[in-house]
């Protein structure tokens, strides 16, 4: 589902304008992003946990030339689904 489809579905179900729903979703996105970047974690009941994690620099090998190079460190967001979400997804399969 694209963001546009999500906005349309919420707008239809809630009886709100698409513009209002879009503004609400943008606000939620900013709050979630700020929380993850400042605290390093966002725990949403019944959905799951978003965690800011760090992958240190490591060595890589070019498979064609066998040349060694350094893969730079990166920060990334991981997601662990809540048990309720896993249980729900298993019921609908």
CATH code of the domain covering residue 87: 4.10.520.10
**The predicted structure's pLDDT at residue 89:** 86
- Burial of residue 7 (CB within 10 Å: 0-12, 13-18, 19+) is buried
Mark whether 7 and 29 lie in a shared domain: yes
Mark whether 9 and 46 lie in a shared domain: no
**The predicted structure's pLDDT at residue 93:** 63
pTM: 0.71
Q: Which residues does the chain have with pLDDT short of 50? A: none
Q: List CB contacts of 74: < 8 A, sequence separation 6 or more.
A: 54, 55
Structural domain harbouring 53: 40-93
Mark whether 33 and 4 lie in a shared domain: yes
**The predicted structure's pLDDT at residue 25:** 95
Using CA atoms, how far residue 33 sits from 21, 76, 80, in Å, is 18, 12, 16
Mark whether 33 and 2 lie in a shared domain: yes
């Amino acid at each position: 589902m694209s963001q546009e489809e999500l906005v349309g579905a919420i707008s239809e179900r809630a009886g709100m304008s698409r513009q209002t729903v879009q503004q609400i979703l943008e606000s939620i996105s900013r709050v979630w992003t700020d929380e993850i970047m400042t605290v390093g974690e966002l725990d949403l009941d019944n959905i799951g946990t978003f965690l800011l994690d760090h992958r240190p620099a490591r060595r890589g090998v070019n498979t064609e030339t066998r040349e060694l190079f350094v893969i730079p460190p990166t920060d990334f967001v991981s997601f662990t689904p809540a048990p309720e979400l896993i249980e729900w997804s298993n019921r609908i399969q």
